[in-house]
Amino acid sequence: MRRLLLALAILLLIVSTWIGLTQGQIDPLQRNILYVHVPNSVCALLCFVVVLVASVGYLATAGQTWDLVATAAAEAGFVFATILNATGMIFSRAEWNVWWTPSPRLVTSAILWFLYAVYLILQVSLPGAQRRAARLCAVFCIIAFLDVPLVYLSARFIPDIHRPNFSFDSAWQTAALMLGMTGTALLAGGLIWLRTSLLRDSLRLEQELLR
Amino acid sequence: MFYLMLGFCVVWVCHFAYLTVIDRQARQLRRRLDARVNAASDRA
Amino acid sequence: MKDVWLGLRAILIKDIVVELRARQVLPTMVVLGMLIVFLLRMASEPASAGAGAPVMGAAALWIAFLFSGLLAQERSFAAEQQNGCMDGLLLAPLDAGTIYLAKLLANVILLTIFEAVIVPLVLIAFHLHVAGWGRLVAVLLLGNLGISSVGTLFSAAVQLTRTRGALLSIVVLVLLMPMMIPASFALLVLFEALPERVSGSGSLAFVGSFQAAVAYMLALDAVFCVASWLLFGVVVEE
C-alpha cells in the first residue's frame, strides 16, 4: 500500500515535469526549476506543521507513535528543505547571478533547514530514557514553530527580491505546477508513513532483543 | 540549460538518496528479524 | 503570590551568591568576550579601520554576546546537576515555572554585568560612536532576554548529554537566528551606520525602521519567555 503511494507520487512528479517542460515551458529555460522548487517549499513547511502536531500530540498523550511520526516527518522535511534551499540557490544564480543574498524569504528558508538539522541531531544525541528524549524534542519543536512564522508571515507583505514578476500564461503550466504539488505532497506522506513504520519495527526489534 | 539540469539532478539525487537510506534500513531490519526468528526456532 | 516571590528570591540569591563566591563563570565569560572582540578586530583589519567599522563592531558585539551568553546558560544548570541539587530543587514546594523564572533572572543579571564590560571594549576597539545610550541599553536588554530565555530552558534539557555545551549551542543559536536580523539592524542604527528608516529589498529593508526592529525583538522575547516558562515543567519532569 505504501509502496503504491510512493510509486503514484513519483509517477505524478514525472508527469508534471514532462508537462511542464514540453507544453508549459517557461521562457528563460532555467525558470523551469520552479516546477520543483515551489512544491518542495510547500512540502517542507507542511512537514514542519506535521512535526509540530505530532510533538503536541506526544506531549498531550505520551503515545510512542506520535514521537515516531515526528521523527519521520522531520527527516522528510529535512530532505525537502535541502532541496528547497539548493534549487533556490540554483535559481537565484541563474536569474540574478548570485548564489545567495540575505533577503527575508531566503533567510527564513535557511532557518527552516537549520531547525530541521538541529531537531534531528537532538533526536539522536539525547541519552537516557526514550521518553525523555522525545519530550525534549517536542519542546524544541514547539518553540521552533513559534519562532519562525513571526518572520515568515510578515515577509509575505514586504517587497522582496524573492518574488520575480511572472504569472502563469497557460493552463498547462498551472496544471504542471498543481500536479507537482500533489505529487510532492503524496511523496511526503508516503515517506513519512514508510519511515514511521520502519522506526516502529526497529524499536520493537530492540525491545525483543533486550528481553 | 546547465542550471536547469543541475536543479533537476539535485532534486532527484536527494529524493533517491533518502529512499535508498530507508530501503537499506528496511533490508537490515528484515535480516535481523529473520536471524532472530531462526535463532528462536533453533532453540525451540 | 507571596510564596512565588519568596521562592524566586531564594533561588535567585542562591545563584548569585554561589557565582560571587566561586567566581568561575563570570571571568570566563568576560575573557571569552574580550577574546572574540579582539579576534574579530584583528581578522577584519582593513575593513574595520574606516567605514566598515560600525558593521564589524555590531557583528563583534552580538557574536561575543551570543557565545558568552551560552557559557552563562550552561552554568545555570550544570552545577545543579553535578552536585545533585536538581532533585532538591524539584522536590521543593515550588512551581517549575518559578524555578525557571529565578534561573532566567540570574542569567539576565550575569549577562548584564558582562555587557557592562564588553560594550565599552567594543566601542574602543572599533572606534565607534553611540547615538543614544538609553536605546543601546534597551536593545541589549532585549537581546539578553532572548538568549537567556531559550538558553535557560534548554540548559536544563541538555544536562545529561555528553556533548552538553555543543548541543546547547546549536539549539540556542538556531532559535535565535530570526532575532539576529532586527538585532543587527538596531545596533547598526545606533552605531550610525544606517539611517533610521531603510527601504528597498533585502532583510534590513524588511525590518524597515528602528521601531520595527525593537518591536520584532520584543515580540520574539515575549514569545520565548512565555513559551519557555510554560514548557519548563515538561523539560524537568522525570
Give yes or no for A159 touching C (CB within 8 A). yes
Q: Per-domain residue ranges for chain B?
A: 1-31
Collect all residues of chain A within an 8 Å Cβ-Cβ radius of residue B10: 83, 86-87, 90
Residue A183 has pLDDT above 90, yes or no: no
User: What is the predicted pLDDT for the residue at C238?
Assistant: 59
Q: Which residues have C-beta within 8 Å of that of residue A107, sequence separation ≥ 6?
A: A151, C177, C181, C203
Q: Where are the alpha helices (DSSP H) in chain A?
A: 2-22, 34-61, 64-96, 104-125, 130-155, 171-210
The CA distance from A83 to the nearest CA of chain B, in Å, is: 6
The CA distance from B33 to the nearest CA of chain A, in Å, is: 7
Residue of C168, C172, C206 for testing the chain A interface, max A β-carbons within 10 Å: C206
3-state secondary structure C13-69: HHHHHHHHHHCCHHHHHHHHHHHHHHHHHHHCHHHHHCCCHHHHHHHHHHHHHHHHH
Q: Residue for cell digits 563566591?
A: C21
CB-CB under 8 Å, B8 with A36: yes
Q: What average pLDDT score do residues A113-123 get?
A: 89
Q: Which residues have C-beta within 8 Å of that of residue C56, sequence separation ≥ 6?
A: C40, C41, C44, C47, C48, C126
What gap in Å lies between CA A43 and CA A184, rounded to an integer? 7
The CA distance from A27 to the nearest CA of chain C, in Å, is: 25
Q: Residue for cell digits 525537502?
A: A80
Q: Per-domain residue ranges for chain C?
A: 2-236
Q: Give the residue with greater pLDDT, C204 vs C23.
A: C23
The CA distance from A175 to the nearest CA of chain C, in Å, is: 31
Residue A165 pLDDT level (bands cut at 50, 70, 90): very low
User: What is the predicted pLDDT for the residue at A184?
Assistant: 86
Residue C18 has pLDDT above 70, yes or no: yes
Written as one letter, the residue type at C92 is A
Collect all residues of chain A within an 8 Å Cβ-Cβ radius of residue C227: 142-143, 146
Rg (CA), chain B: 19
Closest CA to C140 of C148, C129, C128: C148
- Residues of chain B numbered 16-35 and touching chain A (CB < 8 Å): 18-19, 22, 25-26, 29, 32-33
Residue of A58, A100, A118 for testing the chain C interface, max C β-carbons within 10 Å: A118
Share of chain A above pLDDT 90, in %: 9
Q: By the 8 A CB rule, do C151 and C179 touch? A: no
List of chains touching A (3+ CB pairs within 8 A): B, C
CB-CB under 8 Å, B7 with A29: no
**Touching chains C and B? (3+ Cβ pairs < 8 A):** no
Residue A126 has its nearest CB partner, among C161, C170, C220, at C161
Residue C200 has pLDDT above 70, yes or no: no
**Touching chains B and A? (3+ Cβ pairs < 8 A):** yes
User: What is the predicted pLDDT for the residue at B34?
Assistant: 82
**DSSP designation for A42:** H
CB-CB under 8 Å, C153 with A143: yes
Model pTM above 0.80: yes
List of chains touching B (3+ CB pairs within 8 A): A
**Helix axes of C164-190 and A130-155: crossing angle, nearest 10 degrees:** 20
CB-CB under 8 Å, A136 with C181: no
The CA distance from A205 to the nearest CA of chain B, in Å, is: 7
Residue C104 has pLDDT above 80, yes or no: yes
3-state secondary structure C89-146: HHHCCCCHHHHHHHHHHHHHHHHHHHHHHHHHHHHHHCCCCCCCHHHHHHHHHHHHHH
Buried b (16+ CB within 10 A) or exposed e, C129-159: eeeeeeebebbbbbbbbbbbbbbbbbbbbbb
- Tell me if A114 is assigned to some domain: yes
Return the minimum-mean-pLDDT range out of A102-116, A155-169, C118-132, C221-235. A155-169
Range of the domain at A70: 2-156+171-210
Cα C220 to the center of its chain, rounded Å: 13
ipTM: 0.84
Total structural domains in chain A?
1
Give yes or no for A52 touching B (CB within 8 A). no
Q: What is the pLDDT of residues C145-194, one digit of tens each?
A: 999 999 999 888 887 666 677 888 898 999 998 888 889 888 888 888 77
Q: By the 8 A CB rule, do C48 and C41 touch? A: yes
Give yes or no for A33 touching B (CB within 8 A). yes
Residue A161 has pLDDT above 70, yes or no: no
